[in-house]
Amino acid sequence: MGFPQVEAFRGGENVIRVVGHRGARGILPENSMLGFEFSLSIGVPLLEFDVVLTADNVPVITHNHRLHGPTFRDTNGQFLTGEEPKVSSLTYEQIRQFDIGRLDGQSAYGRRFPDQAQLDGVQAPRLLDLLNLIDDPKYGDAYLMLELKSDPDLAHDAPSRENFVGRVLQEVRDKGLSSRAVLHSFDWNLLEECQRQAPDMPSSYLTQLPENADDVGEDSSKAVCPDFRGRRDEIPSLVKQAGGSLWCPYYADVTAENVALAKELGLCVAVWTVNEHEEIGRMIDLRVDAIVSDYPGRVQRQLSDLGMGWHVTHQ
Ligand code: MG
């Protein structure tokens, strides 16, 4: 029935899926192999992460289009200051000279994650590194929520967008992992391109209403996400019409009505980024399919306390 990777994100009776956001950003460096390995090690095999293309056409796992000052240190161990270089202007070899193992505690961004472990010698991984990891038979239940980060500067540059999607798909296909990933983006036009190039893979539509505040210290999605002001409860229908399999709203944008509509339409509802106890509880009450969190263990704990699980058990 449908795409196996969509079913991996779908909840069930007494089951809500847990997705490790950028691995497990609350406790380990974001978008690092350590974070992904940790999430897998605690039985959270659903991994969310972000992909950007380098100057030499390598899909690299990092969130912003520019090297993020509060998380990237240069070879002198200094956090980047001033104008951050664009990922697309550097080769992967240049990017891996930077260390992403620590957070700048003086920055507004760094202050958001006071429990994150601080490490040295950690590099931004390539998409290929993560594909190699989950290709290990012991991680046969791992599925990827592969976010394609659309560069607002290239919104009208069709060849570069086609190339970006093409390179990502090439890596996934070369490893034979097309059935283990959903293609996830805020940029609905880019998802249309994904569907054109990969009709065999499901699309996951991210949304965020403009009235909600952006997360501090990171690229905003609002530059590329369609503006759904005043249409909150219609969004699931629009996702369905666009050919989506998953709807991934900002957690503050979900209501009992739009979750019910999404489920009626057969969409899988995965909310992000849900980190606080009360918010996690509200999402559980709404019976979303999946909760994307920087603290996957925290979501497990709340589900466990309620006698709920995060795996569908096959009888
Ligand atoms: Mg993301």
> What's the CATH architecture for 4-67+125-305?
Alpha-Beta Barrel (3.20)
Ligand 1: distance of its center to the CA of 22 in Å?
Answer: 7
115, HSE (Cβ side, Cα atoms, 13 Å): 8
Ligand 1: distance of its center to the CA of 130 in Å?
Answer: 15
Quote the pLDDT of residue 221. 78
Say how many C-beta atoms besides its own lie within 10 A of residue 253's C-beta. 17
The domain locations on the chain are: 4-67+125-305
Ligand 1: distance of its center to the CA of 62 in Å?
Answer: 9
pLDDT at residue 176 tops 60: yes
pLDDT confidence bin for 223, thresholds 50/70/90: confident
Q: Is 167 exposed, middle or buried (0-12, 13-18, 19+ CB in 10 A)?
A: middle
Ligand 1: distance of its center to the CA of 315 in Å?
Answer: 33
pLDDT digits (tens, 9 = 90+) for 266-286: 999 999 999 999 999 999 999
Quote the pLDDT of residue 33. 98
Ligand 1: distance of its center to the CA of 233 in Å?
Answer: 23
Ligand 1: distance of its center to the CA of 182 in Å?
Answer: 12
Quote the pLDDT of residue 129. 98
pLDDT confidence bin for 315, thresholds 50/70/90: very low
**Taking ligand 1, which is a single-atom ion, which protein residues have CB atoms under 5 Å away?**
50, 147
| CB within 8 Å of 286: residues ≥ 6 apart | 254, 256, 259
State pTM to two decimals: 0.96
Q: Is 265 exposed, middle or buried (0-12, 13-18, 19+ CB in 10 A)?
A: middle
Quote the pLDDT of residue 314. 55
Q: Are 206 and 147 in contact (CB under 8 A)?
A: yes
pLDDT > 90 fraction of the chain, expressed in percent and rounded = 88
- Mean pLDDT value across residues 96-101: 98
